[in-house]
Amino acid sequence: MVIAIKDNINIKDEITTCGSKILGEFKSPYNATVVTKLKTEDALIIGKTNLDEFAMGSSNENSAFGPVKNPHNPEMVPGGSSGGSAVAVATGCADIALGSDTGGSVRQPASFTGTVGLKPSYGRLSRYGLVAFASSLDQIGIFGNFTQDTAFVLNAIAGHDVLDSTSADITVPDYINQKNSSVTGLKIGLPKQYFADGLDPEIKSRIVQITDRLKEKGAELVEIDLATAEYAIAIYYIIATAEASSNLSRFDGVHYGMRIDEGTGLTDMYEKTRSEGFGEEVQRRILLGTYVLSAGYYDAYYKKAQQVRRLLKNDFDTAFKKCDVILSPTTPTTAFKIGEKSDDPLSMYLQDIYTVSANLAGICGISIPAGMHSNRMPFGLQLQARAFNEQALFDLGTFIEKL
């Protein structure tokens, strides 16, 4: 298989930029574990893909190397931050592409480009060799043209890794040979919060058509209440920015990457290197993260967000006692125009409203194509299952594709 790799995943002796000027011509001295496993399976790695700088964005406009364009309409964004990987698969440049998903950065671009995007459970894939954005949320994901493509690749690269302390020591099932081709008796949860105001009427109508078809085929539809979901964006952007502030402190012009040494001392060098090396969105998130971790605000923001995160996780635990899989839209709209939301960060952040919860709860999710909008742009539906139950996503996703 021809495979493309998002440029925040390390390949030995190849440049890893993370879409940022601050890394410059940095060459990785080692392979990420997922890359090692792909090479062991004789995959053909064709190259690196563009991304929002340090994976921070929902549109792929924040790269130091310029925006990625949507192949269905080059005036539109492909979604982010893994937009380059999504486009590599959507255009046929690669059979498979790896991305990273911190709050929807694989599933959202999959929806915008008409591809399949899998976010495995937190810990299912090793993060060793993935440049960290928000360590408690990041997970390497997989793009493909069909659900079974992503299942096939997950089989090859999943598993415990002693080099990653967050990698789960749990047996990896044979996703290809354990599939269930029936939905009879399957309980599908429909979260009422995900079908409320803000969802494009055409997307809502199409998702309802699909759920009605599933009901005809024997599935049971169950309304579920994810009461804490309305706080998911707020929780996410506190925790993610706090962790980003910590993780990106290492990019200081001392150890590797870009260095501007024109000042009178160390502090000047730090300021100039980081001010000119980081883009606007990355600087915004570092500032937000430093603020919520600062003395006097830590308890009010970061600690409170972690407490509400636990409540959100509890909501999902309760929901999965009533259903096997949760079905929803992946995004509230189809792809928007390049530059349309650049001056409105909050509007941009709300593009992840249906996807961030899976990262906060550590569960698995997948976006599969659901149809074409009247504006000639694709959109997806999202399936979510309890942690380490990717098999349920593959079974139902394949069934919906056949429908």
- For residue range 141-188, list pLDDT tens digits in order: 999 999 999 999 999 999 999 999 999 999 999 998 887 889 999 999
Pick the catalytic residue: 6, 37, 119, 341? Answer: 6
What is the DSSP pairing of strand 220-224 with strand 187-191?
parallel
Residue 331 vs residues 65, 128, 378: alpha-carbon distances, Å: 26, 29, 11
What is the DSSP pairing of strand 187-191 with strand 116-119?
unpaired
Checking if the pLDDT of 260 tops 90, the result is: no
Q: What is the dihedral of CA 45, 47, 52, 53, to 10 degrees?
A: 110
Question: Mean per-residue pLDDT for 239-257?
Answer: 92
By percentage, how much of the chain surpasses pLDDT 90?
Answer: 89
Pick the catalytic residue: 20, 82, 105, 126? Answer: 105
Is 58 one of the catalytic residues? Answer: no
Question: Mean per-residue pLDDT for 290-303?
Answer: 94
Burial of 256 (C-beta count, 10 Å sphere; 0-12/13-18/19+): middle
DSSP state of 57: -
The pair of structure tokens assigned to 255 is 């150890």
What's the rounded Cα separation, in Å, for the pair 347 and 351?
Answer: 7
Confidence of residue 23 (pLDDT cuts 50, 70, 90): very high
Question: Mean per-residue pLDDT for 197-214?
Answer: 96
Domains (ranges, CATH) in the chain? 2-185+329-402 (3.90.1300.10)
Is 167 one of the catalytic residues? Answer: no
Helix, coil or strand: residue 156: helix
What's the rounded Cα separation, in Å, for the pair 12 and 36?
Answer: 10
What's the rounded Cα separation, in Å, for the pair 58 and 264?
Answer: 38
Checking if the pLDDT of 262 tops 80, the result is: no
What's the rounded Cα separation, in Å, for the pair 375 and 381?
Answer: 17
> Over the chain, what is the mean pLDDT?
95
Exposure letters 305-333 (e unless 16+ CB within 10 A, then b): beebbeebbebbeebbeebbbbbbbbbbb
The pair of structure tokens assigned to 248 is 């990106």
pLDDT in tens, 46-81: 999 999 999 999 999 999 999 999 999 999 999 999
In the chain, DSSP finds a helix count (H) and a strand count (E) of 12, 10
pTM reported for the whole predicted model: 0.96
Amino acid identity, position 378: P
Pick the catalytic residue: 81, 100, 328, 367? Answer: 81
Checking if the pLDDT of 356 tops 80, the result is: yes
The pair of structure tokens assigned to 123 is 């810990």
Is 20 one of the catalytic residues? Answer: no
